[in-house]
Chain A
Amino acid sequence: MAEQPKLLGTLPSPFVHRVIWALKLKAIPYEFIIEEDLTNKSPLLLKYNPVHKKVPVFLHGDKPVCESMIIVEYIDEVWPQNPLLPKDPYERAQARFWVKFAEDKGTPVLWRMFSSKGEELEKTKKETLEMLQTVEEHGIGEKKFFGGDSIGIADIAFGSVVYGLEIIEEALGEGAVFEAHRFPRLHAWIKNFKQVPIIKENLAERDWMVALFKNRREALAGSA
């Protein structure tokens, strides 16, 4: 009997959540190993992700897989129930295109929204608007999810970015860019996404996250 796979991660991380969602959507039992202090990384983390030294790390039979969306694709291949990718190569390419967009354009902007202020924050907000506009226009279309009727890898990739953005905007308190009247499709999409039962049960608790980000942001400002 193979031992349970392990997920090394932290609770606030949007990247770790992508993997949690994939595992839960497929009802895969796993052991969650909390990386307590990312300023003092555990020997386990350093052993299994020597290149990036980041979470999440997925351990399956002592073999590590790193990088959240690479882990998600791995999970989809090993456990094919409730598939997160379509079968058709062209549709798979579309899903992967949007995953890459979320990684290249979504994630960096998220981090900068969190940590910047003044002019840099204004610049970041502008980039965030452009990024959201692209997805609003070209990404979701008339579909309920990127994956069609059920969520797929692009929903997972973006879901963590947009949920993270909502939290950061609440923590910032004013000047929100992700407004419903500007992004009706995306607003409908994220609402549907958060209502998927597995996702709903596995979202990082909102108030806790907002408070966490407020504290971290103040700490960053204080140490500038």
Chain B
Amino acid sequence: MDERKYNMAEEVKVFSTWASPFALRVIWALKLKGVEFDTVHEDLINKSPLLLQYNPIHKKVPVLVHDGKVICESLVILEYIDETWKQNPLLPEDPHQKANARFWAKFGDDKVMQSIGGGVLLKEGKEQEEGFAASMENLKYLEEEIRGKKFFGGETIGLADIALGWLAHYLDIVEEIVGLKLIDQEKFPSLAAWKQEFANAPIIRENWPDRDKLVTKYVVVREANLGKGTPK
């Protein structure tokens, strides 16, 4: 009988792009739990055959491959990660608190990102005004939820923080490009404090994509959407 202990090294791969806030969620979660992984850098203009094989439905990053098991959709991946590696849990035990975390993660993607990305960054004039107003409404709800807490997850970073985390870096870039202040310290003091806390948290602060590169990228995206981009 073989007495040797095999090092059952798990194979964990993350398909991502340098700019993707969604892939970033997965990277944060794995690093917060101290899980070793390899990153496969994708170019979305020239997607690898492997990405297309692993995510034939959406053809997007992130994709997590764990010992051959393929999982797509960042929020789905986060729950998988939390259930597979139990250290530093991202979700609380209590079912109601868990539901609450999921609610705010969904709100972030369905409403906040839509209004800020689609409504403010990609629009101008009256449409942008409407997007701005919608964004203010949405941020107000976040302000109420975070009030009195260090993180949405309480004392430690949780699922909702990771889902909303893009606000702590990407939002500054949007604000710079469009010349509008969204998370104003006076209007949203608790949310502004959370932004700081999250942006500077260990692990989080070491993994932000390059700010200048993001500005350049999103200017191009904005102009293309407004029909001002030079045709390829």
Interface residues of A (CB under 8 A from B): 50-51, 60, 63, 65-67, 70-71, 73-74, 77-78, 89-90, 92-93, 96-97, 100-101, 134, 138
Are A73 and B102 neighbours in the complex by a CB distance under 8 Å? yes
User: Which residues of A lie under 8 Å from residue B72 when comparing CB positions?
Assistant: 97
Task: Give the interface segment out of B33-41, B42-50, B74-82.
Answer: B74-82
When the two chains form their complex, are residues B76 and A63 in contact, meaning their CB atoms are under 8 A apart?
no
B18, CB-defined interface residue at 8 Å: no
Q: Provide a sorted-by-A list of 21 A–B residue pairs whose CB atoms are within 8 angstroms.
A: A50-B141, A51-B141, A63-B96, A65-B103, A66-B103, A70-B102, A73-B102, A74-B98, A74-B99, A77-B98, A89-B83, A90-B66, A90-B71, A93-B71, A93-B79, A96-B73, A96-B76, A97-B71, A100-B75, A134-B57, A138-B56
Which chain B residues in 76-110 approach chain A with CB under 8 Å?
76-77, 79-80, 83-84, 95-96, 98-99, 102-103, 106-107
How many chain B residues sit at the interface, stated as a range, is 20 to 34
How far, in angstroms, from A41 to B50 measured CA to CA in the complex?
49
| Contact call A92/B99, Cβ cutoff below 8 A | no
Whole-angstrom distance between the alpha carbons of A50 and B138 in the complex?
12
Interface centre among A51, A73, A101, A134, by most chain B C-beta atoms within 10 angstroms, is: A51
State whether the Cβ of B4 lies closer than 8 Å to any Cβ in chain A.
Answer: no
Say if the beta carbon of B232 comes within 8 Å of chain A.
no
Contact of A60 among B75, B76, B80, B96 (CB under 8 A): B96
Asked if A89 and B76 sit within 8 Å, CB to CB, the answer is no
Q: Chain B 41-69 against A: per-residue CB contact (8 Å), 1 yes, 0 no?
A: 00000000000000011000000001001
Chain B: which residue is nearest A92 at the CB level?
A: B83
Q: Which residues of B contact A66 (CB under 8 A)?
A: 103
Shortest beta-carbon distance, B49 to chain A, in Å?
Answer: 17
Query: Is B57 touching A101 in the complex (CB atoms < 8 A)?
Result: yes
Our pick among B56, B73, B79 for the contact of A92 (Cβ within 8 Å) is: B79
**Chain B residues within 8 Å of A74, by CB:** 95-96, 98-99
Q: Which residue on B lies nearest to A91, using beta carbons?
A: B69
Complex contacts, A138 vs chain B, CB 8 Å: 56-57
Contacts of B141 in A (CB 8 A): 50-51
A152 to chain B, nearest CB (A): 15
Q: Is the CB of B73 within 8 A of A100?
A: yes
B135-153 vs A, CB cutoff 8 Å, 1 = contact: the mask equals 0000001000000000000
Contact indicator B95/A77 (Cβ below 8 Å): yes
Considering the complex, give the chain B residue whose CB is closest to the CB of A101.
B57
Interface of B is mostly: helix
Residues of B within 8 A of A73 (CB): 99, 102
Please give the distance in Å from A125's CB to the nearest CB on chain B: 20
Chain A residues with CB under 8 Å of B99's CB are 65, 70-71, 73-74
Contacts of B73 in A (CB 8 A): 96-97, 100
Which of B56, B76, B80 is A100 in contact with, Cβ under 8 Å? B76
Question: Shortest CB–CB separation between residue A98 and chain B, in angstroms?
Answer: 10
**Given known contacts A74-B96, A74-B99, A97-B73, what 8 new A-B pairs fall within 8 Å (CB)?**
A67-B103, A71-B99, A73-B102, A89-B80, A93-B76, A93-B79, A100-B73, A138-B56
Nearest-neighbour CB distance to chain B for A173, whole angstroms, equals 32
Residue among B71, B75, B76, B102 with the highest chain A CB neighbour number at 10 A: B76
* Chain A residues whose CB sits within 8 angstroms of the CB of B77 once the complex forms: 93
In the complex, what distance in Å separates the CA atom of A93 from the CA atom of B106?
A: 16
Interchain CA distance A183-B86 in the complex, whole Å: 40
Contacts of A134 in B (CB 8 A): 57
Q: Which residue of B lies closest to A74 (CB)?
A: B99
- Chain A residues with CB under 8 A of B102: 67, 70, 73
Least distance between B24 CB and chain A CB atoms (Å): 19
* Complex alpha-carbon distance, A100 and B73, angstroms: 8
Distance of A153 from chain B, by nearest CB (Å): 12
Question: Whole-angstrom distance between the alpha carbons of A73 and B105 in the complex?
Answer: 15
6 pairs of A and B residues whose beta carbons are closest in the complex: A89-B83, A93-B80, A77-B95, A74-B99, A96-B76, A93-B71
- Closest chain A CB from B134 CB (angstroms): 13
B113 to chain A, nearest CB (A): 13
Residues in A whose Cβ lies below 8 Å from that of B69: 90
